[in-house]
Amino acid sequence: MYRVGKEELAEVKKVIDAGKMFMFGDPASGHQQEVARFEREWAEKIGVKHALCVTSGTGALLCSLAALGIGPGDEVIVPSYTFMASAASVLMMGAIPVICDVDETCLMDPEDVERKMGPNVKAIIPVHMVGMPCDMDRIMTIAEKHDVKVIEDSCQCDGGSYKGKRTGSIGHVGAFSFNDYKILSSGEGGAFVTNDENLYQREMIFGDSGASFRAYAKDLTIAPFVGMQLRQTEVHAAILRIQLTRLEGILADLRRIKARIMKELDGAPGIRFIPSNDIEGDCGVVAAFSFDTVEQAIDFAKAEGVGGYRPGVMEKHVYSMWGPILEKRVGHHPDMNPYNNPKNRGLRMDVTRDMLPKSLDILKRTVFVNLHTDWTDEEVAKRIAAFAKAGEQVSATPEPMR
Ligand SMILES: *Cc1c(COP(=O)(O)O)cnc(C)c1O
């Protein structure tokens, strides 16, 4: 979360004063229609026909998989660097995640996606990590060629874009998160988006416990089935509608800071920024540096005034640290663990800590520095000076013996 204030409080007060916190209600009785309004506003912002508000980003991923009918017998390609939820949601739906490499962008490597294609792959989940857009052109081309679906995990990229289109609107479905670590926040929250009417209806049914008794049920063209309960509250949506008004300001500030850092350090000794699939669409969540060696990355990250971290050691964000998945401990009941399901026999279930050395090497040679919307120009200048000094120091370090 970057910004929150009295504006959110005022909107929450209206919901409480009306005494209508459930997402459905009659406007004639004072119901504020916050969820319904946010869904329309979010769909418009992202540039899709439909958006549905859910309780979390994980919920939005579950809805995405359910909408696409993914389950036992199916493989879904996920990147080696993402929050564990991207892979965990595939497992919770009974399917098997096949983990692919990232490239120097730290995002899904389209070449490895192509290599990992197979007869059981039903979907690909590109994940736009730390506000950085994936190579969607190549991913969509591969998906079309192999006739598989694309679920964009845009949980860390609320409002980001790729070649002029918002992330989440490019694949068949998209998932967003509004938990407290994300660009917009209502504490917890998420959204599912799609342009497809059928997927929209399936999500609506899955995320609203069958939806069969809702007022809109009469408009559904497919038969309701039993699902989960992932509805969002009016309180959360009231917060999100204000958060949405802050989005462009947050992005403009983060992007301005990132652009200044990259411009002023262009060509500086020891400094190299990771490549981007679309720097204009990048949200500016982090400044991202790449080094030749792991040692240089470690030294740079901890140098005075840098405040960096290496994505390669982020617990739960790199496949090699997804303990429960490595040990195949999934779900609450052994018969619901997809690794035990006979339907998944023959799928690619092996996950070992060292199976993707290229990913581990890249992620350990990369340093991220979180950027903040409230940094003053002086603060940014101080950071730039610290990066420059640290860059000089690491470039002077002799190459380690190999
Ligand atoms: C945060 C996050 C999620 C899950 O979102 P929640 O709202 O915490 O459920 C999924 N994928 C990625 C990449 C995330 O960063």
One digit per residue, pLDDT tens: the chain, 402 residues? Answer: 899 999 999 999 999 999 999 999 999 999 999 999 999 999 999 999 999 999 999 999 999 999 999 999 999 999 999 999 999 999 999 999 999 999 999 999 999 999 999 999 999 999 999 999 999 999 999 999 999 999 999 999 999 999 999 999 999 999 999 999 999 999 999 999 999 999 999 999 999 987 767 778 888 999 989 999 999 999 999 999 999 999 999 999 999 999 999 999 999 999 999 999 999 999 999 999 999 999 999 999 999 999 999 999 988 899 999 999 999 999 999 999 999 999 999 999 999 999 999 999 999 999 999 999 999 999 999 999 999 999 999 998 666 554
What pLDDT, on a 0 to 100 scale, did the predictor assign at position 398? Answer: 65
Q: CA 137, CA 375: separation in Å to the nearest integer?
A: 34
Q: The pTM is what?
A: 0.97
Measured in angstroms, how far is the CA atom of residue 31 from the centroid of ligand 1? 30
Domains identified in the chain and CATH numbers? 6-244 (3.40.640.10)
Q: CA 351, CA 328: separation in Å to the nearest integer?
A: 9
What does the block give as tokens for 300? 């740079």
Measured in angstroms, how far is the CA atom of residue 21 from the centroid of ligand 1? 25
List 79's β-bridge partners, or say none. Answer: 100
Q: Are 100 and 78 in contact (CB under 8 A)?
A: yes
User: How far apart, in Å, are the Cα atoms of 353 and each of 37, 82, 92, 291, 330?
Assistant: 45, 15, 21, 23, 17
Task: Give the number of C-alpha atoms closer than 13 A to the C-alpha of residue 151, restricted to the C-beta side.
Answer: 33
SS3 82: coil
SS3 226: coil
Measured in angstroms, how far is the CA atom of residue 62 from the centroid of ligand 1? 11
Which of 54, 91, 153, 283 for mutating ligand 1's site (highest number of atoms within 8 Å of CB)? Answer: 153
Q: CA 249, CA 373: separation in Å to the nearest integer?
A: 9
Please tell me the residue having the least CA distance from ligand 1 atom 6.
57
Q: Which atom of ligand 1 is nearest to the CA of 59?
A: 9
Q: CA 81, CA 327: separation in Å to the nearest integer?
A: 18
Please give all residues whose beta carbon lies within 6 A of any atom in ligand 1, as ranges.
Answer: 56-58, 82-83, 85-86, 127, 153, 155-156, 177, 179, 190
Nearest to 198 by CA among 218, 175, 173, 221: 221
**What sign for the dihedral angle of Cα 51, 55, 57, 58?**
negative
Q: Please, where are the H alpha helices in 118-272?
A: 136-146, 197-206, 234-264
Q: CA 136, CA 108: separation in Å to the nearest integer?
A: 10
Q: CA 220, CA 202: separation in Å to the nearest integer?
A: 9
Measured in angstroms, how far is the CA atom of residue 210 from the centroid of ligand 1? 24
- What type of residue is 130? V
Q: Which atom of ligand 1 is nearest to the CA of 60?
A: 9
What pLDDT, on a 0 to 100 scale, did the predictor assign at position 399? Answer: 63
What pLDDT, on a 0 to 100 scale, did the predictor assign at position 218? Answer: 83
Which of 176, 177, 322 for mutating ligand 1's site (highest number of atoms within 8 Å of CB)? Answer: 177
What pLDDT, on a 0 to 100 scale, did the predictor assign at position 261? Answer: 98
Measured in angstroms, how far is the CA atom of residue 263 from the centroid of ligand 1? 31
Please tell me the residue having the least CA distance from ligand 1 atom 5.
57
User: How far apart, in Å, are the Cα atoms of 247 and each of 49, 50, 52, 243?
Assistant: 20, 19, 18, 7
Measured in angstroms, how far is the CA atom of residue 181 from the centroid of ligand 1? 9
- Residues 6 or more apart whose Cβ sits within 8 Å of residue 10: none
Q: What is the 3-state secondary structure (H, E, C) of 248-260?
A: HHHHHHHHHHHHH
For the chain, the distance separating the N- and C-terminal CA atoms, rounded to the nearest angstrom, is 43
Measured in angstroms, how far is the CA atom of residue 265 from the centroid of ligand 1? 32
- Print burial letters for 58-95: b (CB count within 10 Å at least 16), e (below 16): bbbbbbbbbbbebbebbbbbbbbbbbbbbbbbbbbbbb
What does the block give as tokens for 212? 């069969």
Measured in angstroms, how far is the CA atom of residue 166 from the centroid of ligand 1? 18
Q: How many C-beta atoms lie closer than 10 Å to residue 52's C-beta?
A: 26
Q: Which atom of ligand 1 is nearest to the CA of 129?
A: 13
Chain length of the chain = 402
